[in-house]
Chains A and B, each alone.
Chain A
């Protein structure tokens, strides 16, 4: 974590990003880089817009009427603007996967849950799916626990296992960027620790953007941290710097617990 330089290649870059729920402006003119194969965490008090910001990356807001983006998210290496009206949100979501706050396994078998993204892409070759399901479950550190019960319902797993199942689902399609929306807020401390460990391993292969309400978690797992407040990006930097020597007074107040 300590030896990070700003020379790490960019994976994505938000430029002048604003977001509106109807007339309400939820995000104000955000500029922020996301570095490749690093973990970037978003912190801030609840309602500060960190989840809203995260959900811009896979165009989740397109599912509901009345939402509007301004600005751009430049996605590397092909420089696709994720927010452009010309870019299909489905294309964005196929490249960028997401893990949600509460585990949301489908009412299907463990196997089918992981295979879902592949099936959605029209993959039907049994051997290909078998291999990718196994790889994804291994990647999510779940294979050992479920390899003998792949036909069981995903909902039969414990909360922590369900969340790792959802991570496997998000991993199975080889995403370029993974979004985590407070993935441990519904879990107990032991399950939380295993997810955190997993995220640290995953960054070997994939870029990660994570929202967390837990500052210690951000400090433990992330390379970069952004502090947000009321829809604005207050400060972005290397995690150590943010936590040890924040440049802005507001960040310091939040970090030291004087506020929020």
Chain B
């Protein structure tokens, strides 16, 4: 009778080992939750100290941003205007071109073109942003100055355009995925009535994939809002309350880089501004990401 109990014992150790492994793997997966919590905690706690010195109304409504001067002002609007202006330029470049490429690749291109173009877009999306920054400052800005001589050497326009080009692969590839997920039966239904490729693409495929495409747009916008190095290199870092892309300007992100490059003591108010700015940025992108997340979920449920 001793044999069964021995076997049972063996099973128990095995069971225990399995549970330990599962717990370890769970902890690894839980790192993502920990990271999010840590991000929120760090941003909020440092911003908390910041907002004890700076009233929230000043932060939201002041029209100057001079945290490092003796006469310090903390109007986040100034940085927001730079972020919005450069992102708007980027979106105006990336959405039309990205959508065009997506429709072309999904509905028009022969198989061989798609096989080459998709990896190429992926490579384009993998180029470090510092390289794009260099390109904006030293290639595109001089080029634009030939057309428009008054353009300053640092400007949001050139940075925004290059940022748009950088985002094209994301918009194109995510939109294309959404269009390819449209069942072939719908396309056949359209072609069977005598529709052309373009009619099928614009009247059936795009409307069917619209929530996926919209989520691609939103993720693209969110990338533009969070982009840092292109603006730090080519946008100029002086705070400037303007919506004119032909001017230099600082964004939330490029301000953080500017402060980090300097030598601010830990715990100083200047040091805390970057966390307040970061919190602002985090909230902005969080809103975009959540909208994008729910749209993608919706379009998965559509078929």
Q: Which residues of A contact B (CB under 8 A)?
A: 58, 60, 63, 65, 90-91, 93-94, 97-98, 100, 102, 104-108, 116-117, 119-121, 166, 169-170, 173
With the chains together, A155 CA to B186 CA distance in Å?
12
A-contact bits for B107-135, CB 8 A (1 contact / 0 none): 00011000000000000000000000000
Nearest CB of chain B from residue A96's CB, rounded to whole Å:
9
Nearest CB of chain A from residue B159's CB, rounded to whole Å:
39
Q: Which residues of B contact A (CB under 8 A)?
A: 110-111, 183, 185-196, 199, 203-204, 207-208, 302
Query: Is A60 a contact partner of B194 (Cβ separation < 8 A)?
Result: no
Partner of B193, one of A91, A93, A102: A93
Q: Which residue of B lies closest to A155 (CB)?
A: B302
What are 6 A-B pairs with beta-carbon distances under 8 A? Answer: A60-B191, A91-B194, A93-B192, A93-B194, A100-B188, A106-B189
* Residues of chain B within 8 A of A65, CB atoms compared: 110-111
Query: Is A97 a contact partner of B192 (Cβ separation < 8 A)?
Result: yes
* Residues of chain A within 8 A of B183, CB atoms compared: 104
Query: Is A104 a contact partner of B188 (Cβ separation < 8 A)?
Result: yes
Taking A90-B195, A120-B193 as known contacts, 15 extra A-B pairs with beta carbons closer than 8 A to each other, sorted by chain A number, are A60-B192, A63-B187, A63-B188, A65-B110, A94-B194, A97-B192, A100-B185, A100-B188, A100-B192, A102-B185, A106-B190, A116-B190, A116-B193, A119-B203, A173-B193
Nearest CB of chain B from residue A181's CB, rounded to whole Å:
10
With the chains together, A43 CA to B51 CA distance in Å?
78
Q: Which residue of B lies closest to A91 (CB)?
A: B194
Known A-B contacts A65-B110, A65-B111, A106-B208; A120 and B186 likewise in contact (beta carbons under 8 Å)? no
* Residues of chain B within 8 A of A60, CB atoms compared: 188, 191-192
Nearest CB of chain A from residue B212's CB, rounded to whole Å:
12
* Residues of chain B within 8 A of A102, CB atoms compared: 185
Query: Is B194 a contact partner of A100 (Cβ separation < 8 A)?
Result: no
Q: Which residue of B lies closest to A113 (CB)?
A: B189
Nearest CB of chain A from residue B13's CB, rounded to whole Å:
54
Partner of B194, one of A105, A106, A120, A166: A120
Query: Is B208 a contact partner of A58 (Cβ separation < 8 A)?
Result: no
Query: Is B193 a contact partner of A106 (Cβ separation < 8 A)?
Result: no
Partner of A63, one of B191, B199, B204, B302: B191
With the chains together, A107 CA to B187 CA distance in Å?
12
* Residues of chain B within 8 A of A97, CB atoms compared: 192-193
With the chains together, A116 CA to B188 CA distance in Å?
13
Query: Is B192 a contact partner of A108 (Cβ separation < 8 A)?
Result: no
With the chains together, A116 CA to B189 CA distance in Å?
10
With the chains together, A100 CA to B194 CA distance in Å?
15
Partner of A58, one of B110, B192, B195, B207: B192
Known A-B contacts A58-B192, A93-B194; A107 and B208 likewise in contact (beta carbons under 8 Å)? yes
Known A-B contacts A108-B207, A119-B203, A120-B203; A170 and B185 likewise in contact (beta carbons under 8 Å)? no
Q: Which residue of B lies closest to A101 (CB)?
A: B185
* Residues of chain B within 8 A of A116, CB atoms compared: 190, 193, 195, 203
Query: Is B188 a contact partner of A166 (Cβ separation < 8 A)?
Result: no
Nearest CB of chain A from residue B206's CB, rounded to whole Å:
11
Nearest CB of chain B from residue A180's CB, rounded to whole Å:
12
Known A-B contacts A119-B203, A120-B203; A104 and B189 likewise in contact (beta carbons under 8 Å)? yes
Nearest CB of chain A from residue B48's CB, rounded to whole Å:
47
* Residues of chain B within 8 A of A107, CB atoms compared: 186, 207-208, 302
* Residues of chain B within 8 A of A170, CB atoms compared: 192-193
Nearest CB of chain B from residue A228's CB, rounded to whole Å:
22
With the chains together, A106 CA to B207 CA distance in Å?
9
Query: Is B185 a contact partner of A169 (Cβ separation < 8 A)?
Result: no
* Residues of chain A within 8 A of B187, CB atoms compared: 63
Query: Is B193 a contact partner of A117 (Cβ separation < 8 A)?
Result: yes
